């Protein structure tokens, strides 16, 4: 089991909420979490993050599919200027 969080707003200009919507439309369950899980005030100003939680019940092919979809949607949304 794992919890993976990431954000692409600071590097690609893609908001976590937009990526969440795009992935959900493709049947990939993720959530968006605030960046406030930190004691450093400067870190709290960071963009929200996408959270995905792969588990031992996921097949390797499902993880590969999710990673490919994330890459595709990031590229599409960055190009679109989301």
For residue 37, is pLDDT > 90? Answer: no
What's residue 38's pLDDT? 65
Mean pLDDT, rounded, of the chain:
91
Give strand ranges (E) for the chain: 4-6, 31-33, 49-52
For residue 82, is pLDDT > 60? Answer: no
- List the one residue out of 46, 13, 82, 61 whose CA is nearest residue 22: 82
- List the one residue out of 32, 13, 20, 9 whose CA is nearest residue 69: 20
Percentage of the chain with pLDDT > 90? Answer: 76
Q: For the whole model, what pTM was predicted?
A: 0.85
Mean pLDDT of 24-41: 85
């Amino acid at each position: 089991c794992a919890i993976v969080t990431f954000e692409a707003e600071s590097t690609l200009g893609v908001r976590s909420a937009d990526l969440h919507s795009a992935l959900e439309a493709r049947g990939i369950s993720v959530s968006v979490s605030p960046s406030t899980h930190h004691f450093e005030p400067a870190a709290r100003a960071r963009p929200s993050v996408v959270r995905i939680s792969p588990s031992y019940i996921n097949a390797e092919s499902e993880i590969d599919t999710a990673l490919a979809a994330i890459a595709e949607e990031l590229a599409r949304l960055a190009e679109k200027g989301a």
